[in-house]
Every structure is written in C-alpha cells, then in structure tokens.
Chains A and B, each alone.
Chain A
Amino acid sequence: MDSNFSHKVWQEIELSKMVKEGIPFPMIADPGGKIGTLYGVYDDEGGVDVRGRFLIDPNGVLQAMEVLTPPVGRNVMEVLRQLKAFQHHQKTGELMPSGWQPGKPTLPPGTEALKRAGHIWEIWKVENAF
C-alpha cells in the first residue's frame, strides 16, 4: 500500500536493524490498492491490503495462496515447504501427500496404492501428517 518513500524510511529506521543491508527484494508501492484488488486482498473499508501471500511458478502460474487478516503474521517455513514441494513435483511428477516435508516419502506415479481408490491407507499413516 505505502509509498516508496515510506518503504525507504521503514527500511532505514527499522528493517535494516533486523536484516543487515536491509530487505533484499523489491518493496512495491500499491497506491489505491490496485494490485491488491487484482489479487482479491484489498479491503476497501479499511483502505489496506490484507496479509496475502501468493506463490507463482516460473511460467507465471499461481500455485498457492494464503490470506490472513492483519493481526496474525505468516510462516516463512510453510512457504518454503510448499515451494520445495511444488519444485519437487514439477521436476519428478511425484505427488506430495499431506504433511510432506523434505526427506519424507512422496507418492511416485505408478505407486500400487494409487491405482485403485481406497488403498492410500496402506501406505499413508496419520503420523505422516505431523
């Protein structure tokens, strides 16, 4: 939402104290919430963009999104987990079951239990979700 002048002041006064050299990626100004409106995260009553997060792949296709109201912050580790999962899927065609983390088993295409409905229980256990 804020202007680039405001981004500069925030960077210099506060963010540079959290991250050496400041935030390394572009901080976009979105006057009037035009981009926020495109992505469905502009709250016209409050006049702000709410906390939206969009993961866009190298072909420009939206793969994942998360939207929160202002009081609660996001979880960077979850974004990285999703990024790794989508990258692994796009590279290998494997499916990434619920609770997947790097190092945990995936579901390769051709897996027996995937061929008939009702057999995933044989290879995926509730503990895999945690």
Chain B
Amino acid sequence: MGVMVGKPAPDFTAKAYHNGKEKEVKLADYRGKWVMLCFYPADFTCV
C-alpha cells in the first residue's frame, strides 16, 4: 500500500464536520475540482 504521484489518489468515504453539521465526504465526489487533502495529528495542535 502506498501513494505515488501521477497515480490515482486512493478513494475514501468518511464523516466530516462542515458548516456546523456532520456530513459524509467521498473523495470521488470531488472529480472536476482540485482537492487539497491535509492530515494533522490532532485538533488543538498549535502549528
């Protein structure tokens, strides 16, 4: 398992918090748009 530039980004479905509500997010639903996907260790981390 791993990711590689120039190859399809692995798809996923997840619950997300957005505009005060919980909703489901599926990466494939963003076809046609650029996506920046960011990971961070935890909420309230400081950098």
Contacts and interface: CB of A to CB of B under 8 A. Distances in A.
Dominant secondary structure of chain A at its interface with chain B: mixed
Contacts, number: 135
Interface residues of B, number: 41
Contacts of B23: 26
B9 A28 contact: no
Interface stretch (A52-60, A96-104, A108-116, A119-127): A52-60
A69 B4 CA distance: 19
Contact of A62 (B7, B33, B41): B7
Contacts of B2: 40
Given A1-B42, A51-B39, A29 B17 contact: yes
Interface in B1-47: 1-12, 14-20, 22-23, 25, 27-28, 30-45, 47
Given A7-B43, A48-B41, A56-B9, 8 more contacts: A4-B17, A22-B20, A26-B18, A49-B39, A51-B40, A51-B41, A56-B30, A60-B28
Interface of B: 1-12, 14-20, 22-23, 25, 27-28, 30-45, 47
